[in-house]
Amino acid sequence: MKYLIVGNGVAGVNAAKTIAESEPGAQIAIYAAEHYPYYNRWQLPAFLAGELSQEEIYFYPEQWYIDHGITVKLGLAVKAIVPMARQVILTDGAEVRYDRLLLAAGSSPAVPPIEGANQAGVFILRTIDHALAIKEYAARARNAIVIGGGLLGLEAARSLRVLGLSVTVVELFPRLLPRQLDIQGAGTLQELIERAGVKVITGAATEQIQGDGKAAGVRLKGGTVAQGELVLISAGIRPNTQLAKEANIQAKRGILVNERMQSSAPDIYAAGDVAEFNGQVYGIIPAAIEQARVAALSMMGADVAPYTGTIPSTTLKVVGIDLTSMGEVNPEGEGFTELRFADRAQGMYRKIVLRNGRIVGAILLGDKKNVSPIARLIKAQTDVSTQASRLSERDFDFRTLFAPAAPQASRYECTVCGYIYDPAKGDPEANVPAGAPFESLPEGWVCPQCGASKAMFTRLED
* Least Å from the CB of residue 57 to Fe ion: 13
DSSP code, position 340? E
- As measured in angstroms, the least distance from the Cβ of 289 to Fe ion is 9
Interaction between residue 457 and Fe ion (CB under 5 A): no
Residue whose CB is less far from Fe ion, 221 or 379: 379
**101 makes contact with Fe ion (CB under 5 A):** no
Residue 186 sits in the site that holds Fe ion (CB under 5 A): no
8 or 449, CB closer to Fe ion?
449
- For 257-266, which contacts have Cβ atoms below 8 Å and span 24 or more sequence positions? 257/291, 259/294, 259/306, 259/307, 259/308, 260/294, 260/295, 260/298, 260/304, 260/306, 260/307, 261/291, 261/294, 261/295, 261/298, 261/307, 262/298, 263/103, 265/81, 265/83, 266/83
Nearer to Fe ion (CB atom), residue 177 or residue 417? 417
Nearer CB in complex with Fe ion: 220/450: 450
Q: Does 450 bind Fe ion (CB under 5 A)?
A: yes
3-state SS, 156-182, equals HHHHHHHCCCEEEEECCCCCCCCCCCC
**Cβ distance to Fe ion smaller for residue 235 or 414:** 414
**With CB under 5 A, what is the number of residues at the site for Fe ion?**
8
Q: Which of the residues 405 through 434 are near Fe ion (CB under 5 A)?
A: 414, 416-417, 419
Could you say whether residue 313 binds Fe ion (CB under 5 A)? no
For the CB of residue 258, give the shortest distance to Fe ion in the complex, in Å.
27
CB of 345 to Fe ion, least distance (A): 32
Choosing from 292, 447, 458, 461, the residue that interacts with Fe ion (CB under 5 A) is 447
3-state secondary structure 236-248: CEEECCHHHHHCC
What are the CA-CA distances from residue 333 to residues 131, 159, 181, 330, 382 (Å)? 42, 39, 17, 10, 21
- Which residue, 157 or 414, has its beta carbon nearer to Fe ion? 414
Q: Tell me whether residue 138 or residue 417 sits nearer to Fe ion (CB atom).
A: 417
Cβ-based neighbours of 373, under 8 Å, separated by 6 or more: 397, 398, 399, 401, 402, 460, 461
Question: How far is residue 109's CA from residue 346's CA, in Å, rounded to a whole number?
Answer: 34
Which residue, 64 or 137, has its beta carbon nearer to Fe ion? 64
Distance CA 177, CA 191 (A): 13
Select the span of 72-80, 119-127, 140-148, 447-455 touching Fe ion (CB under 5 A). Answer: 447-455
Using CA atoms, how far apart are residues 435 and 388, in angstroms rounded to an integer? 37
Which residue of 18, 291, 449, 458 would you call a contact of Fe ion, by CB under 5 A? 449
- Rounded to 5°, the CA angle 433-438-444 comes to 85
Nearest distance, CB of residue 249 and Fe ion, angstroms? 31
Residues that bind Fe ion (CB under 5 A): 414, 416-417, 419, 447, 449-450, 452
